[in-house]
Structure 1
Amino acid sequence: MKKEKLWKSYKNTGDKKYKDELIVEYIDLVKIISGRLYTNYNSHVEYDDIVSYGIIGLIDAIEKFDLSKNVKFETYANIRIRGAVIDQMRSLDWIPRSTRHKFRVFEEAINKLQNQFGNNYNDEDIAKELNVDLKELYDIISEISTLSIASLDEKIEENSNFGVKSNNLDFSPEKKLLYNESVDNLHNVIEGLPERERTIVNLYYFSELTYKEIAEILKISESRISQLHTKIIAKLRKTIGN
């Protein structure tokens, strides 16, 4: 049965068998999103657990999706699936407080340097701002790298009108304006990044390559990609939150 017909059958009847068929139709979407998030959360959760959280988001999306709205289901479901996983991970409180504190301090240092020097600062400047040596700086970045990616997902979720707890498919005029401004600000920040950082953003978020694949392309170490990515996220989070 074609998806369009399946959707109409489910929305017209509410029959569970049609909903179950829709779940089967879109389960690959859950697996794709779960695989991506699994790499973000590293070894802190099992892949199968993420898939199960994602399925909750998919079911919620199927039940609440309005065929009359001019929104693709995949777009709507994507954010609800991610939102369901993020909500569950928040409830698990899987990041130690000490790591969260280190990330906040690191983010504040990046923002301060960004305000003072734009992109004209280096790792030595960050280390000096944090009052640590380079080895300590890289140890900190290694510890907070997983949290930084997850926190960017949370920040996007917080600033999205398609949150998992929301029944709305439409933007209000005010929210649409704020959303467009956030997108424009984020685009400007990405465009203003140094070329190598901008390349990492494009390869990781748009081409969806792994750190290892990006490292091979840029001919630098995988750990260096992780370090650069963590700094990029600190910059992007500030923009999304504005």
Structure 2
Amino acid sequence: MAVSEENRLIAQHAPLVRRLALQLLARLPASVELDDLIQAGMMGLLDAIRRYQFSADAQFETYAIMRIRGAMLDELRSQDWLPRSVRAKAKSIEQAIQRLTHRLLRPAHEHEIAEELGMSLEDYQLLQDDARGVQILHYEDLARGDENKPDPLGHLISGDDNGSDTPLGKLMSQALRKAVISAIDALPEREKLVLSLHFEQDLNQKEIASVLGVTEGRVSQLKSQAVLRIRAALTDKAWDVHPGAADLQMIL
């Protein structure tokens, strides 16, 4: 591709990079700098421009968004932006959910998770607020079901990264995709509804709160809990230590 065309595409999609960075920043600690995300995103955009195979049937922006987000997440991981205390809190909830799921053979209710953690329901909900940072790892990419939109899990079987172009890699990615979908399907209806309203109906947190008749804070708690349930389900299937864990980080 000519340098002039490359520069034109960079200028055209620079606002997209900034928009994605701002969306991400809204759910990150204050210590994360917008300029760092934008710089990483611009590198992702350049990578997308150089890798993309232009055709009449393919949408460049869709491909670019995946690359831009991936570059931003790589930058966040390199900074280890999530405090160790937050990781520990999220892990404690995941482990409690795992134990209860094995014991009850159904999704645990909030009060049961709180009891398993030895705390009141109110304290457990506060703990969810503290652990909400786990939502940021491409939580958007759990959306699915609209045939007019590309499957956000499709990159797991696209064969472009992490060794997934090998037969073993493709099998691993397909298995992971099925595990994620199974974990989503197993969510309690209320949490599944929150995901559907947000990612399929494109409602914001305030609108979801109005639909459900709850506070915006409660919507955030439900989203956090849904993510932690999904993580617990995948960890239970050993995806946290699987060689394909890098793919998992692009989903959750």
Q: TM-score range by the shorter chain?
A: 0.7 to 0.9
Aligned residues: 226
CA shift, 1:33, in A, is 2.6
CA distance in 2, matches of 1:177, 1:133: 43
The code of the aligned residue for 2:180 comes to: L
Q: Please say if 1:234 is aligned against 2:228.
A: yes
Aligned to 1:195: 189
SS in 2 for 1:40: coil
Deviations 1:127-170 (A, max 9, x none): 1211222232122111111x2112465x999x94679x9498x7
Deviations 1:194-240 (A, max 9, x none): 22111111122333432222111111111111111111101222455
The code of the aligned residue for 2:201 comes to: S
- Counterpart pick for 2:209 among 204, 215, 219: 215
- Higher helix residue share: 1
Higher-Rg member (1/2): 1
Aligned to 1:225: 219
Q: Within 5 A, what are the aligned runs for 1:61-210?
A: 61-67=48-54, 72-145=59-132, 147-151=133-137, 160=156, 166=161, 171-210=165-204
Deviations 1:14-58 (A, max 9, x none): x32211111123334323432332233254434444233211111
The code of the aligned residue for 2:136 comes to: A
SS in 2 for 1:79: helix
CA distance in 2, matches of 1:221, 1:55: 36
RMSD of Structure 2 on Structure 1 (CA) = 3.4
CA distance in 2, matches of 1:190, 1:228: 13
Q: Percentage identity across aligned positions?
A: 31
The code of the aligned residue for 1:92 comes to: Q
SS in 2 for 1:41: coil
SS in 2 for 1:45: coil
Q: Is the 8 A contact 1:197 1:232 kept in 2?
A: yes
CA shift, 1:72, in A, is 4.3
